[in-house]
Amino acid sequence: MIEAAVTIENESSSRVALSDSAVELLRQLWQQHGPLMFHQSGGCCDGSSPMCFPAGDFMTSAQDVLLGRFDLAPAGGEPQPIEFWMSAEQFAYWSHTHLTVDVVAGRGSGFSVEAPEGVRFLIRSRLMETAEPFA
């Protein structure tokens, strides 16, 4: 498992991680699509699943929170930054949880880049060990 770098001001604990299977899939998807990003909206139509896009294809705004940044290094390659964003409204509900992005068999949203692979990303959550209020 890989923990994201902390990106929220005044926090010291990672809020999001990638399972080993998610890391493996992301390295494969990076080869096909180039730089990637995640966004979690919490809305309908698969919005409760983390959506993976080519970096910049989903426009973030002040209504989104950058929960973490992963630096995946392929074998013999340069680190590849992957940001994980969440809508501020959804984060208000999930601010007490640590999220782990995992992969399971099945089709998710047609908008997320893993859809043609016959798998989908999903979130596994647990309570944060240290409560750090979101400012």
Question: Is the model's pLDDT at 47 over the cut of 60?
Answer: no
**Percent with pLDDT over 90 in the chain:** 60
pLDDT in tens, 77-135: 778 899 999 999 999 888 899 999 999 998 766 789 998 899 999 999 999 876 555 55
Q: What residue spans of 1-135 are helical by DSSP H?
A: 20-33, 88-94
CA distance 76 to 54: 22
Q: Where are the alpha helices (DSSP H) in 2-41?
A: 20-33
3-state secondary structure of 107: coil
Question: Domains of the chain (ranges plus CATH)?
Answer: 2-127 (2.60.300)
Q: From its phi and psi, is residue 97 left (phi > 0), alpha (psi between -120 and 50) or beta?
A: beta
State both tokens at 18.
């990638």
Q: What is the pTM of this model?
A: 0.87
When pLDDT is averaged across residues 18-22 and rounded to a whole number, the result is 96
Task: Compute the distance between CA of residue 121 and CA of residue 90 in angstroms, rounded to an integer.
Answer: 18
Q: Over range 65-70, report the average pLDDT.
A: 96
Question: Which is higher by pLDDT, 10 or 109?
Answer: 10
The per-residue pLDDT for 111 is 82
